[in-house]
A and B are shown apart, each in its own frame.
Chain A
Amino acid sequence: MLDKILCVDDDPITLMLCKKVVERVEFAKEIITAENGVEAIEYFDTLFEESKVNDAIVYPKLVLLDLNMPVMDGWEFLETYMRKDYDNIFTSTRFIVLSSSIDPYDINRSKTYPVIGFLSKPITKEMLENLKTQFP
């Protein structure tokens, strides 16, 4: 079981669903949610500040990321994340794009980011059981 995962989605029902499914399959101990890219960045900002004083900080190893969001969408979030060099700070953090439609163009675009997969909504227990094997 993972310690922490982050769910980024503007739809509260999706977040609720995420939480429920994660709980059901005991995928992670803690689920943090953000409603858009800005909130997610702010979360990582806070973690970054904390990491300066605390080496043993627990950060999410997996982020479930929606692409289509107001304020800051998934792509902008990933760009900002990279620009802030967070991929070298939170080295174990991986991203999974959770989207309602999968465009081949998006898959290509994700290759420059630490995105390890694309999943089509809704999130299911089977998906998470499958993911478990990738995160020992």
Chain B
Amino acid sequence: MVTGKRQRIVVVGHGMVGHRFAQAAVERGLTETHDVLVVGEEPRAAYDRVALTSWFGHPDGAEGLSLLPGGEYDDPRVRLVLDSVVTEVDRDARTVTVVSPPSAAGDLLADPGAVTVHEYDVLVLATGAAPFVPPVEGRGKAGCFVYRTIEDLEAIRTASETATSGVVIGGGLLGLEAANALVQLGLDTHVVEMAPRLMPVQLDAAAGSTLVRHVERLGVKVHTGVVTEEILGDEQVTGVRLADREIETQVVVFSAGIRPRDALARECDLEVAPRGGVLVDEQCRTSDPHVFAIGECAAPGGTMYGLVAPGYAMAEVVVDALLDGPGTFTGADMSTKLKLLGVDVASFGDAFAATDGALELTYSDAVAGIYKKLVVSEDGTRLLGGILVGDASAYGVLRPMVSSGIALPDNPEQLILPASSGVQLGMPDEAQVCSCNDVTKADILHAVAEQGCEDVAAVKQCTRAGSTCGSCVATVKNIIEDHFASVGKVVDKGLCEHFRLTRQELFDVVAVHGYRRFDDIVEAHGTGRGCDICKPAIASILASQTSTHILEPATAELQDTNDKYLGNIQRNGTYSVVPRIPGGEITPEKLIVIGEVARDFGLYTKITGGQRIDLFGARMEQLPVIWKRLVDAGFESGHAYGKSLRTVKSCVGSTWCRYGVQDSVGLAIALELRYRGLRSPHKLKGGVSGCARECAEARGKDFGVIATEKGWNLYVGGNGGATPAHARLLAGDLDTATLVAYLDRFLMYYVRTADRLQRTSTWIDQLEGGLDRVREVVVEDSLGLGAELEAEMARHVGGYEDEWRATLEDPSKLERFVSFVNAPGTPDPTIAFTTERDQIQPIAPALIPVGAPA
């Protein structure tokens, strides 16, 4: 390789595998020496195609599936160009020709799109696969679709609006996914499969018929062993003719497999495999050493792999090769576990007992719809493969037994019998737990034992295990728990030495017993006299459940530092004061008052990130006088000091902005006033943007609202800080009343169940079921909690009072605001200021020597 000069990598395709390549290039330092240009054909950045069907669950939810929500990589040396097609590869000149789309406004003739030519040192083909549409007569009629991209799904949804019935041609994995989508769209759904059973590649006859019973129970009609002869209708589909019958339908989805997209490679005379796919070696190098192919367009050793995990592995192998590493791709575990139409299905290893002398052990329960088969070696000592339908809970243990070859127990049938104790069998360390991201049990144990990960969310972040299809999350959780149990560490979810209960349990205990005093709670459910962990947690729980002022005698001494003085303590013991400015909207008169107060008290003044103004340097005894000036001018506490709602940030919205489609300021003010003062496990921030340009950065907030033409999209679980997170779509196109109802439920559900100091993003991640769980509870109201949560919020809203004003009106609460109890006129002598850029700055108090005489 040429040294000193940066090498250029061009990646063709930005699907899941192309994205993984770019990600790995950044993470493994390849971008230190290489510039990466990724050219994607779809209008959006890579998204989770495996979870495609879930897109129907949240309309306008393309963002929810995105693997690169911001649309660009953090590393500026990786450039992503979307909506563009590589039309030609010149291997001699080492260039690719890229055609970008015509500008949306211009007409095609005047503006045919930009044609650019890019040089490469390394070319990576990640063009994926295309759906295979069998040559059935009439397959081009309107109403015929494939199932691969978000655009496909959008088209199917539109067609379904006027349809009553839909037919899926193909009863494999993807076909059943597509059927699931049609069911969700309310269509009378049929599946037509040429083979005698569903999922012929993964399942045997008995498993297939068990699956059929499940699927038919959901109202899907299954036609197996029949060929589709013709799609009926004039221009528009009206029906499907099978060998022996006709089905009336308006929507046909072809899902009869995929074919590698290798046209670009063929055109530039790269070798391709006989059954399609760019032929590559174990390093995924094509017949041209400067060109690699990865994912579904590649055929390592002549075989293409239609799963994401092998594609990811190939991406890693190429990055490794470019770093002169030893990685190779020599085939992949094609095991599959998934939930199809709510039914667990798994197939792994030698599922069809193709190995010489292999024996089969089966268990089936037709009533419960469970079928399990183990394939074991002739001598009965090793597990070779298996099939599970209806209950795939043993998959996590069984599949690694195949790859590791550990000895079977004497009674292997125990592994598949109901309530099997055999599931307790240990899994070897080298067993692969997450096949999507190639994470072994040892990797997870390393993360837990060496890297301080204590729960699934942390392990996910550290190892990526469970972050793609999620099917291994339960196994990951078990491994973590087993580990802690084995090292004798009680996985103690208790708050602190005084309480064995979690915050959620404490919350429930307080609600059930109606406790109002710490003493009662600690006597009945804890030990000792509390500490700086449990006392503020209980103070917060009491504040969430009552509307009592936090400085009432029963709770004043429980409050955390800042709550106790209704201000934010600063490094020299002074406080900062933040009046509420709802939505960031303020009149000039009020702005002048803030300026006057700051000037008169000599406070350092700074604009905050939450669209308000922070006044620093107030001595504790000055706080009430400062509040009085502010309250008299119509201000109230901004709760900047509390684990509570801070601000709801807004852009200027449709009232002024020429792009705005809704009044974002009006909504932000309403939401901020509704939720002000709500005590929660951690601070809460909100944002409202008036259009998709998202100028309020709402998706960086715990709850973010973005205007659409039809209403509001609600996003949850975002935050900035050390571990930034983008909020994800909870529900789309809501009217304002529904939006508020969902927000009431979401916030109260969080307040009730999150751990102490857990932001919404980590709370959602550690919930069993994650965001889907939140959606079930908040949107679908599956627990029937909706009305109760809304009522709790209504109680909070009705009971709100300004904490500053209430303190000013109660002399007993003001007593604590003195410098010295015996010398109230003497200010704290350790507080002093200097001047910097025309404002005060604290002088660090002289640190007293440690180990001062006792």
Judge: A and B partners, yes or no.
Answer: no
Report which B residues bind A (CB closer than 8 A): none
Report which A residues bind B (CB closer than 8 A): none
